[in-house]
Amino acid sequence: MAVRGLVLAALALLAAPAVRAQSPQPVDRTIIGLFDSKTDVSVRRSRIHRLVEMPVNHLGLTLQPHDVRQGLPSDEAMRGVRGIVTWFTSVAFAEPNTYLTWLEAQQRAGKKLVIIDHPGVDPDPVGGLGVRRKFDAVLSHIGLRWEGEWVDLTYSSRIVAKDSSMVEFERTLPILLPPYQRLSLIGSAARAYLTVRRNVDARDSPLVVTGPNGGYISPHYAIFEPPREIETLSWHVNPFRFFREAFGTDAVPKLDTTTLSGRRIYYSHVDGDGWHNISAAMKYAEKKLESAEVLYLDVLLRTPDLPVTIAPITGDLDKTWYGDEKARDLARQIFALPQVEAGSHTHSHPLVWGFFRDPDPRREVRYLPFYPARPGRSQADSVWDRAKVLADLPPRRDLDDAIPTGYSTPRSYAVQPFRLEAEIAGSIKIIEGLLPPGKRVALYQWSGDTSPFERALALVKTAGLRNINGGDTRMDGVYASYAQVQPLSLRVGAVRQNYSSASNENTYTDNWRRRFFGFRGLAETLQRTETPIRVKPINIYYHFYSVEREDGMSALWHNIDYARGQEIAPVSTSRFVSMVDGFDAARIVALGDRRWRIEDREGLETVRFDDASLLAVDFARSEGIVGQRHAQGSLYVALDRAVAAPVVALAAYAAPHRDPDAPVPYLVQSRWRVEALVREARGWRFTAEGFGAADFTWKVPAPGRYAVAAIDADGRSGAAEAAAGADGLLRFSLDLAGDRGVVFTVRRLD
């Protein structure tokens, strides 16, 4: 963006809150996304979820998908809603009057409306003049008039106005334009970014429009949909800029889950698949070691600086299933490592979660012969006894026992009939029996198709665990679009399934069947989701079987080495998920005069302001702010975890070439997370925890020498001296174990 653009954006952000009343006002962050399950099948497959939610999340907003087959959202559901986005591909309302009446009411209440593709109703042949008037009123509110003509043949149509930064984001428009609906721009508030003209009558039609009340994208112009499966979706329209303008997010502080203490977050988690697989990796082939042993020896012992969550399938540890005492002893050694967090990857490893929504054992009978034999047992003795289990169950004629193509069984093991309680509470109990004192199971990692139903998610939450998996974000040479970058999570009924931030090796290796080196492509995804826009943290997510083959092991180390070469803030996976949970739950309250209070944020510790090179934190009017850092045009503000409701205030900043001056010391960046910051007359003290070297960069009001003292949770101490130069930057590093926290004291010496 040009300097003039940065100045205008900064001024807009500074000025917008000031026009509010001085009394606290909640900032509306929720977008209602309407979809039609008749065409989208499910919310997981809907365009609202797959394409809209990620850029909306990046802009600091939460998205609530709503299936119009379940009626329209209630008045209660619309409280605190900022806007509505629809993405229909055909008529969704056979009787449009109720829908249009509801839309009019929402627009009168100040909700913004974004229409992508089909408007969901056909205003011409159905409903009469009254319906048409309502439809015209809805469109006019966003600055458009419906001309009632679908231009199918576009040979005589040409582009007469185009902003390529908006409408040719990832893919240029074709020479032969797609069909379009004729509209006209009315009023002066809305802006067209793409306008086409039909030569035969010289009539113009705006196809991409934003304005103060919402926006519109004509059918076929939002994304490119490939005619063949070998190609992938890509955006014509810049979704970040489009939704930013349509929902007016410049004045919304962006709660951020990519950054901690001024650095990009790193986390890693491992699913337990392949624990007992014998590794053929070159270094271990002759030793006939199981993959779990190789992972322990060749990865975990060599990466004490990188936290990782290990989630076994407890059927692999249970001696009455597929486990043995050797596996249990190894699990104890793995969980004893300071950087290892304990997770569960279920007990019997469901592959098709929907199959067990109604867990009737009669549905599983046909698959029993295909489950693997237990060590030292026959195959028939490795599955539940159908005669005993089904003895008191009547036959069912309506039985649907089919599973999707690609699966041979609905789960990996079937020693006992499926019980959801055994998969969740039972697996947690088994793992906690193997943990050292002070550790607990913190995470539940979804298995198989990673499509849990609401009750499963609710039971995990009741057990006090956070959850993760699903999403499969990729952005590389094969999937090169933000259309394949998934949102933070998926709402399933009243609970949320949190997605991993990157895909695992399965998608790179055709479900671990070929191209075992393919996981090296993860590094490209990590790079592309960092620049030019940081949309995801670094996440290395894989399975035990990655170390089963030499090329798989090599790919894993390629990614680990890439991450180690970046400036990262490593955290446990459950801590990252707590940030995602906080993103969803948090409330932002505008206090007026460019100040905001952040409430109910759980583990979330960063708030971001975009196009903010000319902005800085006003520490005199802020509370609970640890530090700040500019990166890629954004200002990342670190919040103090020890302060329940921090307040961030902004001020103009005229020297973007250097870190802003401030009357108090503040954190610029660190590898460890910082909290409980107390600023004192001659220095400051704080608590920090993390993995690897304790590297810190602080900005101090004036140059000089400082003494640093630290003491960890076991009473071990460390000390150092450091000097801040003319730029006011004070850098120091101590070699301490930070997994349980270290208290630092910094004192000025002169």
One-letter identity of residue 232: T
Is 645's pLDDT higher than 80? Answer: yes
The domain ranges of the chain are 28-252, 259-389+401-577, 594-748
CA–CA distance, 107 with 105 (Å, rounded to integer): 5
Query: Any idea which residue has 């790079």 for tokens?
Result: 527
Q: pLDDT by residue (tens digit) across 646-666?
A: 999 999 999 888 999 999 999
89: number of Cβ within 10 Å: 15
* Count of positions (residues) in the chain: 750
Query: Any idea which residue has 């569960």 for tokens?
Result: 344
Is 9's pLDDT higher than 60? Answer: no
- For 407, the token pair is 């699966």
The pLDDT confidence band at residue 127, using thresholds 50, 70 and 90, is low
What secondary structure does DSSP assign to 492-544, as a single string? ETTEEEEPPSS--HHHHTTTTTS-TTGGGGHHHHHHHTTSSS--S-EEEEEEG
**Average pLDDT, integer, range 268-283:** 96
747: number of Cβ within 10 Å: 15
Tell me the average pLDDT of the chain. Answer: 94
Query: Any idea which residue has 């180690």 for tokens?
Result: 564
Between 187 and 697, name the one with better pLDDT: 697
The pLDDT confidence band at residue 189, using thresholds 50, 70 and 90, is very high
Which residues make Cβ contacts (< 8 Å) with residue 279, sequence separation at least 6?
285, 289, 290, 291, 293, 294, 547, 548, 549
Is 460's pLDDT higher than 50? Answer: yes
Q: pLDDT by residue (tens digit) across 135-176?
A: 999 999 999 999 988 999 999 999 999 999 999 999 999 999
The pLDDT confidence band at residue 126, using thresholds 50, 70 and 90, is low
Contact between 698 and 668 under an 8 Å Cβ cutoff? The reply is: yes
One-letter identity of residue 503: S
CB-based burial, 443-469: b 16+ in 10 Å, e otherwise: bbbbbbbbbbbeebbbbbbebebbbbb
CA–CA distance, 171 with 682 (Å, rounded to integer): 56
Residue 49 DSSP one-character state? I
Q: What class does CATH assign to 28-252? A: alpha beta
For the ranges 36-50, 220-234, 246-260, 714-728, which has the lowest average pLDDT? 220-234
- For 76, the token pair is 């209660």
CA–CA distance, 725 with 240 (Å, rounded to integer): 39
Q: Which residues pair with 635 in a beta bridge?
A: 609, 630
- For 196, the token pair is 């086409």
| CA distances for 639 relative to 206, 642, 645, 663, angstroms | 43, 9, 9, 18
Q: pLDDT by residue (tens digit) across 492-501?
A: 999 999 999 9
Q: Which residues pair with 542 in a beta bridge?
A: 270
Beta strands per DSSP E along 653-728: 666-670, 673-680, 683-689, 694-699, 704-712, 717-724
β-strand pairing of 647-652 with 595-599:
antiparallel
Share of the chain above pLDDT 90, in %: 89
Q: Burial of 642 by CB count in 10 Å (0-12 exposed, 13-18 middle, 19+ buried)?
A: middle
| CA distances for 739 relative to 265, 486, 672, angstroms | 16, 30, 10
For residue 356, how far is the Cα from the chain centroid?
A: 26
Residue 85 DSSP one-character state? E
Is 461's pLDDT higher than 50? Answer: yes
The pLDDT confidence band at residue 341, using thresholds 50, 70 and 90, is very high
pLDDT value at residue 95: 87
**Average pLDDT, integer, range 416-442:** 98
- For 324, the token pair is 């043995």
Share of the chain above pLDDT 70, in %: 96
Contact between 203 and 182 under an 8 Å Cβ cutoff? The reply is: yes
Is 129's pLDDT higher than 80? Answer: no
What secondary structure does DSSP assign to 277-317, as a single string? PBP--TTTGGGT-BHHHHHIIIIITT-TTS-EEEE--GGGT
The pLDDT confidence band at residue 228, using thresholds 50, 70 and 90, is low
CA–CA distance, 583 with 605 (Å, rounded to integer): 10
β-strand pairing of 62-67 with 30-35:
parallel
CA–CA distance, 421 with 444 (Å, rounded to integer): 13
Secondary element (H or E) of residue 562: helix 550-564
Comparing CA positions, the residue from 173, 169, 213, 224 lying closest to residue 195 is 173
HSE at residue 486, side-chain half, CA atoms within 13 A, is 19
**Average pLDDT, integer, range 342-346:** 98
The pLDDT confidence band at residue 202, using thresholds 50, 70 and 90, is confident
Domain 259-389+401-577 has CATH 3.30.420.40: no
Phi, psi of 285 (to 5 degrees): -60, -45
CA–CA distance, 688 with 642 (Å, rounded to integer): 11
pLDDT value at residue 21: 43
For the ranges 129-133, 161-165, 278-282, 628-632, which has the lowest average pLDDT? 129-133
Q: pLDDT by residue (tens digit) across 87-113?
A: 999 999 988 999 999 999 999 999 999
Q: pLDDT by residue (tens digit) across 679-731?
A: 999 999 999 999 999 999 999 999 999 999 999 998 999 999 999 999 999 99
What crossing angle do the helices spanning 128-141 and 97-108 adopt, rounded to 10°?
Answer: 30
Contact between 19 and 615 under an 8 Å Cβ cutoff? The reply is: no
